[in-house]
Amino acid sequence: MSDNRRIRKKYAHKELSENLSLIQEIVAVIFKKVPDMLMLGVLTFFLLWGYDYFIRMEYFHAEDIEIIGIRKLSPKDLLKDAGIERGMNVLSVNLSLVRNKLLDNPWIAEAEVERELPSAIRISVKEYDPLAVLDLGKKFILNTEGKIFKEWTPSDPQWLPVVTGLEYSDIRISEETVSRHFAAVTDILNLGNMPKSLMPNHSIKKIHIDQEIGISIYPTERIREIKLGFGDYAAKYEKLKNILKYFEEKQNMQTIDSIDLHDANRIVVNPIRAESLAGDDKEV
């Protein structure tokens, strides 16, 4: 046998030995891991089987569904939005998914969903407080924070005062960009939202702002128009209170056509009397 042949045979034998050693190591690792892998597989099987078993048990069917915080929305509509039904298994409810579905409703500002084993689901929501309808060509609802939260639809509250005269450029984008006209409107609305307000918002049909003249409000009864101009609205409301008290003592007074409070030191009242023609101006 030649030297070259002996050398090749020697190296082939060495390579085979190394490969056999590597195979032995791999097999040892596999057999070492088999118990762990088998245990993981068994555990996974029982978890899936257990989950399927529990979500079918009547013991966990939702019999008590509590809804807290709704005013405008109905329980039926809320549960439909949430995808919750009485009798469904409480363990099958994805709480995060249900919360996100609720927040998709434009009326809902905050939402929390909890389950209480064995058979209860608690839904707590906070709705936006509507303040007025802004008519910008399209109608939108303004909340008590002075922000638009949804487009108005006929199913929304009908008692909200309608604000006209504002432009899109007047609408609040941030705290630093509030126009004079928008600020005037929100001042009036905030006064009307106060307890025992002289002119509560539900008693006002329309608030109109003229870009030059200022605010005029149109109540639902007694007075057709109150011209307030710009600024000092709380003081002007006090003047208005005294005027209304004076006219309430006049039994022959049916309607006041207009009260002009642009200048709080020179108030003009235009009443309509039952026994006389309209347009009888009085300066107070």
SS3 string, the chain, reads: CCHHHHHHHHHHHHHHHHHHHHHHHHHHHHHHHHHHHHHHHHHHHHHHHHHHHHCCCHHHECCEEEEECCCCCCHHHHHHHHCCCCCCEHHHCCHHHHHHHHHCCCCEEEEEEEEECCCEEEEEEEECCEEEEEECCCEEEEECCCCEEEECCCCCCCCCCEEECCCHHHCCCCCCCCCHHHHHHHHHHHHHCCCCCCCCHHHEEEEEEECCCEEEEEECCCEEEEEEECCCHHHHHHHHHHHHHHHHCCCCEEEEEEEECCCCCCCEEEEEECCCCCCCCEEC
Residue 55 — very low, low, confident or very high, per pLDDT cuts 50/70/90?
low
Q: Are residues 95 and 13 in the same domain?
A: no
For residue 138, what pLDDT is reported? 95
Q: Are residues 251 and 275 in the same domain?
A: yes
Q: Are residues 177 and 107 in the same domain?
A: no
How many angstroms from the chain centroid is the CA of residue 273? 46
For residue 16, what pLDDT is reported? 45
Average pLDDT (24-34) is: 54
For residue 167, what pLDDT is reported? 92
Question: Nearest CA to 170 among 226, 200, 210?
Answer: 210
Q: Are residues 278 and 139 in the same domain?
A: yes
Q: Are residues 247 and 148 in the same domain?
A: yes
Which of 76, 105, 127 is the endpoint of a domain?
Answer: 127
pLDDT at 113 over 90: yes
Which of 127, 144, 172 is the endpoint of a domain?
Answer: 127
For residue 271, what pLDDT is reported? 78
Neighbours of 213 (CB within 10 A): 14
Task: Give the N- to C-terminal CA distance of the chain in Å, as an integer.
Answer: 136
Answer whether residue 49 is part of any domain: no
Neighbours of 138 (CB within 10 A): 9
Q: Are residues 106 and 151 in the same domain?
A: no
For residue 216, what pLDDT is reported? 96
Q: Are residues 179 and 257 in the same domain?
A: yes
Average pLDDT (103-113) is: 96
* Residue-number span of the structural domain to which 36 is assigned: 1-41
Average pLDDT score over the chain: 81
Model-wide pTM > 0.75: no
Q: At what angle do helices 180-192 and 233-248 cross, to 10 degrees?
A: 50
Q: Are residues 278 and 137 in the same domain?
A: yes
Residue 141 — very low, low, confident or very high, per pLDDT cuts 50/70/90?
very high
The answer for residues whose C-beta is within 8 angstroms of residue 277's C-beta and 6 or more apart is: none
Q: Are residues 137 and 270 in the same domain?
A: yes
Angstrom distance (rounded) from CA 225 to CA 168 = 25
When divided into structural domains, the chain yields a total of 3
Which of 89, 109, 127 is the endpoint of a domain?
Answer: 127
Answer whether residue 28 is part of any domain: yes
Average pLDDT (83-98) is: 90
Q: Are residues 119 and 151 in the same domain?
A: no
Answer whether residue 53 is part of any domain: no
How many angstroms from the chain centroid is the CA of residue 178? 21
Q: Are residues 117 and 207 in the same domain?
A: no
Q: Is 231 left (phi over 0), alpha (psi -120 to 50) or beta?
A: left
Q: Are residues 151 and 274 in the same domain?
A: yes
Answer whether residue 120 is part of any domain: yes
For residue 243, what pLDDT is reported? 86
Question: Which token pair is 30?
Answer: 């596999």
Strands of 268-273's sheet in order across: 148-151, 139-143, 130-135, 162-164, 204-210, 214-219, 223-229, 253-260, 268-273, 282-283
Q: Do residues 128 and 149 lie in contact, with contact meaning Cβ atoms separated by under 8 Å? A: yes
Residue 247 — very low, low, confident or very high, per pLDDT cuts 50/70/90?
confident
Answer whether residue 56 is part of any domain: no
Sign of torsion, CA 186 189 195 198? positive
pLDDT in tens, 195-235: 999 999 999 999 999 989 999 999 977 789 999 999 999 99
CATH code: domain of residue 96: 3.10.20.310
Answer whether residue 47 is part of any domain: no
Answer whether residue 50 is part of any domain: no
CATH code: domain of residue 270: 3.40.50.11690
Q: What angle do CA 19, 25, 27 make, to 5 degrees?
A: 100
Answer whether residue 55 is part of any domain: no
For residue 175, what pLDDT is reported? 59
